[in-house]
């Protein structure tokens, strides 16, 4: 049985948000990254042209929804529409960071459940399949009407952390809120560590309050491993770190899939002496000025590349699937 992708049958393109990751995925698949041409008309309208024929082929389009999110979303929608209109056999939207997953419910009057809206727009534009990583909440998966694969980077984190020989007698995994408790618990189980959850109340986009119950929960531990889906401004993690330090924690490691590190987040985080390491992935690009000796970035290109390859070959991707453990106790079954 052939276990490779036919390079003549697949075309991969990148939007402008993260061409480096798209190149890494293409290298893993051993197919060239095709050129895409971008320009702008005098009235500010975008012009996009795919640089290779897609007729009758499987098309892969890579685009993370990072700032400026609306600009990159429009690029993605146009590229999907171009591929569909040019008679592509199938069109795969690879969105390593789906930022609108945070807009997953109606928690105020007269607002949009934007995650569902974007899911509908992707299908309307021409996506026949969507692939992403670590959605903010599992329910967003259900907003999509086309096959959607939310992958996980947890195995990358586990492999990295196992090399650090964490002591289970004095190390605890901490979820920043109850919504991340299940994910933190799965990471803790794979590392043989206990886990707890903080009680977080969000006051605004940049301000949160963490309950004092955490102080009692971490008593007796010296090391803490904070596990979250993303770090944007860093406000939540900084508050949590300060509370952990006040509770007697001497060493803190932060693990997150999406390290946006907006503004001076990396400066504020690394200024905490007890915070010794920030472990994230390259689902979003991290500029050289944000690189720090405490920051370790894991490469997810092979994860996406392997999932794309298995989809193409019609093989299971069960052990790459983010919420698999929520449904079954083993990843040996086929998805």
Tell me what pLDDT residue 120 has. Answer: 97
Of 96 and 181, which is predicted with more confidence?
96
R_g of the chain computed on alpha carbons: 21
Q: Which residues are CB-neighbours of 101 under 8 A, at least 6 positions away? A: 115, 132, 135, 136, 137, 140
Q: For residue 118, what are its two tokens?
A: 């974007």
C-beta atoms surrounding 106 within 10 Å: 10
In the chain, the percentage of residues whose pLDDT exceeds 70 is 90
Q: Identify the CATH class of 154-298.
A: alpha beta
What does the pLDDT look like over 88-100, one tens digit per residue? 999 999 999 999 9
Region 110-129 average pLDDT: 97
Contacts 24+ apart (CB under 8 A), 33-39: 36/79, 38/75
Sequence length of the chain is: 335
Q: How far apart are CA 188 and CA 223, in angstroms?
A: 13
CATH 3.40.50.2020 domain range(s) in the chain? 10-152+301-327, 154-298
User: What number does CATH give the domain 10-152+301-327?
Assistant: 3.40.50.2020
Q: Dump strand ranges (E) for the chain.
A: 10-14, 36-40, 46-50, 58-62, 90-95, 129-133, 148-151, 171-175, 195-197, 200-202, 208-210, 223-231, 251-259, 275-281, 295-298
What does the pLDDT look like over 309-334, one tens digit per residue? 999 999 988 777 765 454 333 333 33
Alpha helices (runs of H) in 192-320, residue ranges in sequence order: 213-217, 235-246, 265-270, 301-312
Active site residues: 200
pLDDT mean across residues, the chain: 89
The answer to whether 316 and 322 are in contact (CB under 8 A) is no
Q: How far apart are CA 208 and CA 334, in angstroms?
A: 40
Residue linked to tokens 């997810």 = 300
């Amino acid at each position: 049985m052939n276990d490779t992708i036919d390079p003549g049958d697949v075309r991969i393109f990148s939007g402008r948000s993260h061409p480096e990751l798209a190149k890494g995925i293409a290298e893993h698949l051993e197919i060239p990254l095709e050129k895409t041409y971008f320009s702008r008309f005098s009235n500010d309208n975008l012009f996009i042209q795919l640089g290779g024929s897609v007729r009758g082929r499987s098309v892969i389009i890579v685009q993370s929804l990072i700032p400026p999110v609306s600009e990159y979303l429009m690029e993605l929608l146009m590229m999907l529409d171009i591929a569909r209109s040019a008679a592509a056999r199938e069109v795969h939207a690879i969105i390593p960071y789906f930022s609108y997953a945070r807009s997953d419910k109606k928690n105020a009057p007269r607002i949009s459940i934007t995650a569902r809206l974007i899911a509908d727009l992707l299908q309307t534009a021409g996506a026949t399949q969507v692939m992403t990583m670590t959605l903010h909440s599992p329910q967003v998966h259900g907003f999509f009407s086309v096959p959607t694969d939310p992958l996980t980077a947890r195995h990358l984190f586990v492999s990295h952390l196992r090399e650090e020989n964490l002591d289970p007698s004095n190390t605890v995994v901490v979820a920043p809120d109850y919504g991340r408790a299940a994910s933190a618990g799965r990471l803790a189980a794979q590392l043989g560590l206990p886990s707890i959850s903080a009680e977080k109340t969000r006051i605004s986009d940049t301000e949160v309050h963490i309950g004092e119950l955490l102080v009692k929960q971490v008593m007796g531990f010296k090391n803490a491993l904070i596990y979250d889906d993303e770090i944007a401004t860093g406000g939540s993690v900084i508050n949590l770190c300060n509370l952990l330090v006040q509770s007697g924690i001497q060493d803190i490691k932060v693990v997150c899939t999406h390290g946006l590190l907006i503004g001076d987040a990396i400066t504020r985080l690394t200024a905490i002496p007890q915070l010794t390491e920030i472990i994230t992935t390259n689902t979003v690009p991290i500029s050289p000025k944000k690189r720090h000796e405490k920051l370790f970035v894991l490469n997810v290109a092979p994860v996406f590349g392997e999932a794309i390859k298995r989809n193409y070959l019609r093989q299971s991707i069960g052990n790459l699937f983010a919420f698999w453990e929520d449904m079954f106790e083993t990843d040996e079954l086929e998805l």
